[in-house]
Amino acid sequence: MERATDWLQKRSMISPNHVALINASTNEMIDYRTLDERASKWAQYMNDTGIKKKDRVVFISTNHTVCFELLFACGKIGAIFVPLNWRLSPSEIRAIVDNCTPTLLFYKNGFQSLVHDLPLSCHRHCIDDVMKEVYSQENTGVLCTSLLSSDPWMMIYTGGTTGSPKGVVLSHQSITSNALNTVVSWNLSEDDCTMTYLPMFHTGGLNALSIPLLMVGGKVVIAERFEPNQAIHALNEYGCTIVLLVPTMYHLLMENKDFVHVRFPKMKVFLSGGAPCPGKVYEFFKGKGIPFKEGYGLTEAGPNNFYIDPSRMKKGSVGKAMMLNRVRVIDERGNPVRQGEVGELLLGGDHLFKEYWRNPEQTQEVLKDGWLHTGDLAKYDRDEDYYIVGRKKDMIISGGENIYPEELEHWLSEHPSISECAVIGLPHEKWGEIVTAYISLRNGANMTTEDVKVHCLQKFGKYKIPKDYHFIDELPKTVVGKVDKKAIMAFSQGQ
């Protein structure tokens, strides 16, 4: 078996004095030599605490540079880094901790009460209390010499919007392959800089841009929280060239008067991920003359899978398969679909996850013959550009017809009066399911059900458009800013 490579150590030798990380809250700058030294010292500290290969090390914190120090420390000794979603309820946190059974738990100041209530027998350390001790110790270069590329490095728990959160185990190969694929396909270099606003318990915060940029010697600015006014100026202050935000963040930026006028001279591209992006965001950036593109990914696959050339961008498309991965679209019998037909999206490559933690049944359901069955519906055009139509489980079957909520949501979001929307299928005695729309209007906008119907009929046949409409102030969101359809469905059914 191939051995894992400590590429951070090699990067620290190639680019020792280049800035790797910046803490946006304190403006502390950490170069690659320091990052690797700190990671080695944390590895030594963990080793002295009794951490062994494949032990789980939990981290509870808002976004902070120390997250990467611990991540790379775990990589050096073969431990599994488990960043937890601190926004979950105590009972949800407890269930995850019971599932991953950590040997060591680190937490930042402010989370003492949450950690104190956890029924843990493992070591618990407030990172702020031990940081000085760790940084002052002599570096002995602790390293797991038997580490294989197939060994687990990170475990990220899925959001749980479709059931209990699952621990997605990413190996050294998974993480490194995703980073390499991103660097090669997106042409990242040491001159690039990003600002990480997505939470670092989420694959978007760690694996979308941060780790690929660290691999290539670029700069990653860590921000604790997203605030539009601060973000607008920080992106220019740090000279960011590429940034990933979720649609909710773009929604907030577009409503900010400063964002309309501020120029971003160093920005190569704004990226959107995590949820489908409304077409009006594309138009906004087109008007500003700044490249904008949408991505597709999931925790189990990278998350980076497609590349878009901004000069040949097609609205609604996630682009072409990246250099080092494979893509298929199949029908219900497992046969490849033809151009323009809808089928399930399959992904292949070394960036795929290793397994669901202690869940072989669900692992086998989605990993088959080297392909990840995403559960997402997609199609492709003659140029082999791909389009995500929606979730397989979200597909609505009304009167025997297949209806894809995502294409309806894209079109509804085009209307200038609509801020956000969600389309779901609700049980119906006659039709099987009835297409139902939940709509949030922009401030001051006025729109009737008939107005929405007229808008939908401009693009879709009558059988496709929603039969029932609900106007609400704000759609519920998950912790990473996605519209929470599970919560909408529960509300609709009176649960």
Q: What mean pLDDT is predicted for residues 133-141?
A: 88
pLDDT at 140: 77
Beta-ladder partners of 379: 387
- How far is it, in rounded angstroms, from Cα 356 to Cα 265? 43
- How far is it, in rounded angstroms, from Cα 200 to Cα 238? 20
pLDDT at 495 over 60: no
Q: What mean pLDDT is predicted for residues 322-346?
A: 96
Task: Name which of 244, 247, 232 is nearest 281 in CA terms.
Answer: 247
- How far is it, in rounded angstroms, from Cα 323 to Cα 306? 9
pLDDT at 345 over 90: yes
As a dihedral over the C-alpha atoms of residue 479, residue 481, residue 483, residue 484, rounded to 10 degrees, the angle is 0
| Number of Cβ atoms within 10 Å of the Cβ of 355 | 20
| Number of Cβ atoms within 10 Å of the Cβ of 226 | 19
pLDDT at 338 over 70: yes
φ, ψ at 106 (rounded to 5°)? -105, 145
Query: Which tokens is 466 given?
Result: 């929603």
Q: Which of 7-16, 119-128, 240-249, 306-315 reaches the highest mean pLDDT?
A: 7-16
Q: Going by C-beta distance under 8 Å and a sequence separation of 6 or more, which residues neighbour residue 289? A: none
Task: Name which of 423, 385, 387 is nearest 403 in CA terms.
Answer: 423
| Number of Cβ atoms within 10 Å of the Cβ of 129 | 9
Higher-pLDDT residue of 394 and 10 is: 10
Q: Going by C-beta distance under 8 Å and a sequence separation of 6 or more, which residues neighbour residue 260? A: 254
- The CATH H-level superfamily of 7-322+345-378 is ANL, N-terminal domain (3.40.50.12780)
pLDDT band at residue 494 using 50, 70 and 90 as cut-offs: low
| DSSP SS3 for 326 | strand
Q: What mean pLDDT is predicted for residues 407-424?
A: 91
First to last CA, the chain: 50
Q: Percent of the chain scored above 70 by pLDDT? A: 97
pLDDT at 160 over 50: no
CA torsion sign, 33 to 37 to 42 to 44?
positive
pLDDT at 400: 67
Q: What mean pLDDT is predicted for residues 144-155?
A: 92
The number of angstroms, rounded, from the C-alpha of 161 to the middle of its chain's C-alpha atoms is 14
Mean pLDDT for all residues in the chain? 91
- How far is it, in rounded angstroms, from Cα 418 to Cα 437? 12
pLDDT at 161: 40
Q: What mean pLDDT is predicted for residues 472-485?
A: 85
pLDDT at 209: 97
**What single letter denotes the amino acid at residue 371?**
W
- Give tens-digit pLDDT for 458-476: 988 888 899 999 999 999 9
Task: Name which of 122, 120, 26 is nearest 65 in CA terms.
Answer: 26
Q: Going by C-beta distance under 8 Å and a sequence separation of 6 or more, which residues neighbour residue 462? A: none
Which CATH code, of 3.40.50.300, 3.30.9.100, 3.30.830.10, 3.30.300.30, is assigned to 403-492?
3.30.300.30
pLDDT band at residue 189 using 50, 70 and 90 as cut-offs: very high
CATH 3.30.300.30 location in the chain: 403-492
The residue with tokens 């003659």 is 382
As a dihedral over the C-alpha atoms of residue 62, residue 242, residue 328, residue 401, rounded to 10 degrees, the angle is 80
- How far is it, in rounded angstroms, from Cα 357 to Cα 354? 9
CATH 3.40.50.12780 location in the chain: 7-322+345-378
pLDDT band at residue 1 using 50, 70 and 90 as cut-offs: low
pLDDT at 159: 60
Query: Which tokens is 284 given?
Result: 């906004």
Half-sphere exposure of 83 (CA within 13 A, CB side): 28
Higher-pLDDT residue of 63 and 159 is: 63
Query: Which tokens is 127 given?
Result: 């990172």
By DSSP bridging, strand 401-403 and strand 396-398 are antiparallel
pLDDT at 141: 75
The number of angstroms, rounded, from the C-alpha of 30 to the middle of its chain's C-alpha atoms is 24
289 near 313, Cβ under 8 Å?
A: no
What is the model's pTM? 0.85
Higher-pLDDT residue of 347 and 286 is: 347
- How far is it, in rounded angstroms, from Cα 71 to Cα 57? 9
pLDDT band at residue 155 using 50, 70 and 90 as cut-offs: very high
